[in-house]
Structure 1
Amino acid sequence: MPDAAPPPGAARNSGADGEARGHAPAGEVRRETADGARGHETGPWGWALAGLAVLALGLYLTSLRGLLSPFLLYWVVVALLLPFRGRPGHALLVGVATVLGLVWLLATTGFLVAPFVLGLLLAYMLDPLVDRIQARGVGRSLAILILIAPVGAAVLGGVLFGVPAVAGEVQRVIDASPLLLDRFAAFVGRAAEWLDRVPGVDSDALVERLQAIRPEDVVGYLRERHREITQGLVSGIVGVGRGLSSLVSVVGYVFLAPVLAFYLLRDYDGIVARARALVPRPKEEAVVSFAREYDYLLSRYLRGQLTVALLLGVLTAVGLFLVGFPYALLLGSLVGVLSLVPYLGLALSLIPAVAIALMSGDVLWSLIKLAGVFGVTQVLEGTVISPRIVGESVGLHPVWVVLALSIGGFFLGFAGFLLAVPVAVGVKLLVQRGVVRYTQSSLYRGDG
């Protein structure tokens, strides 16, 4: 039999008894909470004292600047900002400090971080292929080996055979430089008549300066710098050593990066799942949407652009070889590497090619061969290769890519060059979302 409900007066009496026993009514509790919250608010004197404390700490840290590092200063900044957690601007300040800390870390340890970044990018690009092979009943580890083994063999073969071959091409240029310069001088003499027809050009002075270049001086300079040129070529391919020997750099990039890629690929889906589990639940939908769009842009650009660069390098080298143009392998390698930089790469690869054509025996015929090969490869790249591999557009403007590669390579070396495009894609998406929020705000509409 259910208990009888207490009479209405009993509830009122119970409330009164509660007040008599020291329990404040709900209204008073809310008032006390509000008063306590107001008591914890930072007044003008509180902000002044906080400013003085920060100033004093800054002076103290300045006196200890020889013992401090940006890593320690980062945690000092985080600790100082901890009492202001939840206030406007706190997350922004911590984010800026974190970004600056990461930049410092990459700038100081880029030569050590670069193999890890390279392994991560390799795992990111190969993961879809591993998933496709695994879907056909092949074990994931075996599927990874099927992909990693050819890539590692190709890179190792390129380092062991490709670099010496390109270095040999450089040596051939140096050995042939006296003959090439004599041919160039003869070409300048024949071009004097053409230059006389160009208004505003002092052909006599220009020809005199060009003919004043003595071949023996150029040959002597190139022979003195031959070792530096060869070492610079190797360093440019395997990354800047920053004090490490070339052998250690080769081991790091050729062996360490594929090993890291193997282990990352083996647990790639688990890493993604654990990262998603750490996202705050209220933000999960927005973060997942951002990550999907980021993955779409970055994957299409990286996989497509690397494939296009490889095809352009091979087509250029084969084309120049078939038409009998000298140093075809050297020029094809330059085209493949430099084509990773939109537009600017084509111009940079044309400079040595035109120079070699001008110093050849038959300048006009060499220029025709060069123009034919470069013209055909660029037409194929623009009409067939890029549209089929990269797509019509990945939403990443070439100027944005060039700017990112220049800044990343200048400040952070090879590691910055590797991270330039991924960071540029992220910044682009953040800017797009910022613009959308601004156009939807009352400030833009003028409602406020």
Structure 2
Amino acid sequence: MLEMLNRWYQRRFSDPHAVSLVAILLFGFLTIYFFGNLIAPLLVAIVLAYLLEWPVMMLVRLKLPRVLAVILVLLLFVGLMVMAIFGLVPTIWHQVGNLIADVPTMFNGLQQYVSSLPERYPDFVQPHQIDTFMNTLRENVLGMGESVVKGSLSSLVSLATLAVYLILVPLLVFFLLKDKEEMLSTFKGLLPKNRRLASKVGIEMNQQISNYIRGKVTEIFIVGIVSYITFAVMDLRYAVLLGVLVGFSVLIPYIGAAAVTLPVAMVGLFQWGVSPDFWWLLVAYGIIQALDGNVLVPVLFSEAVNLHPVAIIVAVLVFGGLWGFWGVFFAIPLATLVKAVWHALPSTEVQEPTDNSAP
């Protein structure tokens, strides 16, 4: 066993550049794991800087000074965010309130429908199964209500954190964009000299993360807007709220779409019952998800997401468990990083000793 581990170590870490790469990754992992909450504004600013670097570069190519380009792009971005917040958040908040008020009615309607199942299908559904199901569902609904109340109370405390973010993040984004080259030079000076493999992986991941962030934001907007238009045309209640939920569900590959299907179906069932409108809603929602997965994602991400679906789901579970929202958001780039590092590490096969005495 020890000999096998020794051979594996010699194959993968015989090069000092490989050791430097692993040391850099380990240091970054430990820093984010233990100090992620402290540097959260910086992480948010880095994501936004990646997102806004492309329009800044477009303006720079038009012979505009970089400082002026950064100011213009940042002002435009902040302006759009303010318009979205003041135009969208009140509507979402109003629809959330209406939905919470309608939950008891929805629950009673569901209870009446489920209670009639033993009469319709006596060979398949028994009354005691319905009682067990409804009791479990009632407990879960009450638990969700308590969670909402606790979340509302805790949100008062988070207002101070939000105010800090609103001040610090734009300043950090400005300086990250303005002094990009100087900061990169300083960061490179802190790295080990044996960093050939680290530089190779860094260049590859920098491009992939940049494309991924821009693509993911674009996907959220497209899927959210198309879903809202579809729900509004069908006159579905809470169209804005459900459109936003469907848009943000693309942050969690596969799992997000499955999770958002439940509220969409429940609202449609409550509004129309088991009618043609309800089935048309499910068909329309299925078409949106199919176009997103088979057309939009390949166009936006091209070969950047060259991972098996099982690997993506495992990455979401692992990195989401480690870092919460940011782990889920960057699950695919992090999985791609693991793949890139594994391929970048040298693999020098150790030759087995030959037995020349054999005939």
Considering the TM-score relative to the shorter chain, is it more than 0.5? yes
Select the structure of larger CA radius of gyration: 1
The answer for unaligned runs of 5 or more in structure 1 is 1-86, 235-243
User: 1:4-403 counterparts in 2 under 5 A?
Assistant: 103=29, 105-160=31-86, 162-192=88-118, 195-196=121-122, 201-210=124-133, 226-230=148-152, 245-276=157-188, 283-284=195-196, 286-391=197-302, 394-403=305-314
Shift of 1:139: 1.8
TM superposition score normalised by structure 2: 0.78
Shift of 1:105: 4.3
Given that residues 20 and 198 in structure 2 are in contact (C-alpha distance below 8 angstroms), is that contact kept between their aligned partners in structure 1?
A: no
Sequence identity, in percent? 24
* Cα distance in 2 between the residues matched to 1:218 and 1:279: 51
Alignment-mate amino acid for residue 202 of structure 1: V
Change (3 A) 1:130 1:94: closer
Shift of 1:313: 1.5
* Cα distance in 2 between the residues matched to 1:395 and 1:247: 40
Given that residues 114 and 415 in structure 1 are in contact (C-alpha distance below 8 angstroms), is that contact kept between their aligned partners in structure 2?
A: no
Given that residues 167 and 230 in structure 1 are in contact (C-alpha distance below 8 angstroms), is that contact kept between their aligned partners in structure 2?
A: no
How many residue pairs are counted as aligned between the two chains?
Answer: 342
Change (3 A) 1:335 1:133: same
The answer for unaligned runs of 5 or more in structure 2 is 1-12, 355-359
* Cα distance in 1 between the residues matched to 2:137 and 2:203: 60
Shift of 1:214: 10
Alignment-mate amino acid for residue 181 of structure 2: D
Shift of 1:169: 2.3
TM superposition score normalised by structure 1: 0.64
Change (3 A) 1:253 1:369: farther
The residue that corresponds to 2:9 in the other structure is none
Alignment-mate amino acid for residue 374 of structure 1: Y
Alignment-mate amino acid for residue 313 of structure 1: G
Change (3 A) 1:401 1:268: farther
The residue that corresponds to 2:6 in the other structure is none
Given that residues 211 and 301 in structure 2 are in contact (C-alpha distance below 8 angstroms), is that contact kept between their aligned partners in structure 1?
A: yes
Given that residues 174 and 219 in structure 1 are in contact (C-alpha distance below 8 angstroms), is that contact kept between their aligned partners in structure 2?
A: no
List per-residue Cα deviations over 1:248-291 (Å, max 9, x = no partner). Answer: 2222333422221111111213333454566677754x444333
> Structure 1 stretch 421-430 or stretch 270-279: which is displaced more?
270-279
Shift of 1:344: 0.8
Shift of 1:419: 5.5
* Cα distance in 2 between the residues matched to 1:394 and 1:213: 39
Shift of 1:348: 0.8
Alignment-mate amino acid for residue 252 of structure 1: V
> Structure 1 stretch 330-339 or stretch 389-398: which is displaced more?
389-398
Shift of 1:222: 6.6
The residue that corresponds to 1:68 in the other structure is none
> Structure 1 stretch 342-351 or stretch 314-323: which is displaced more?
314-323
Alignment-mate amino acid for residue 369 of structure 1: W
Task: State the structure with bigger RCO (CA 8 A, min sep 6), 1 or 2.
Answer: 2
Alignment-mate amino acid for residue 268 of structure 1: K
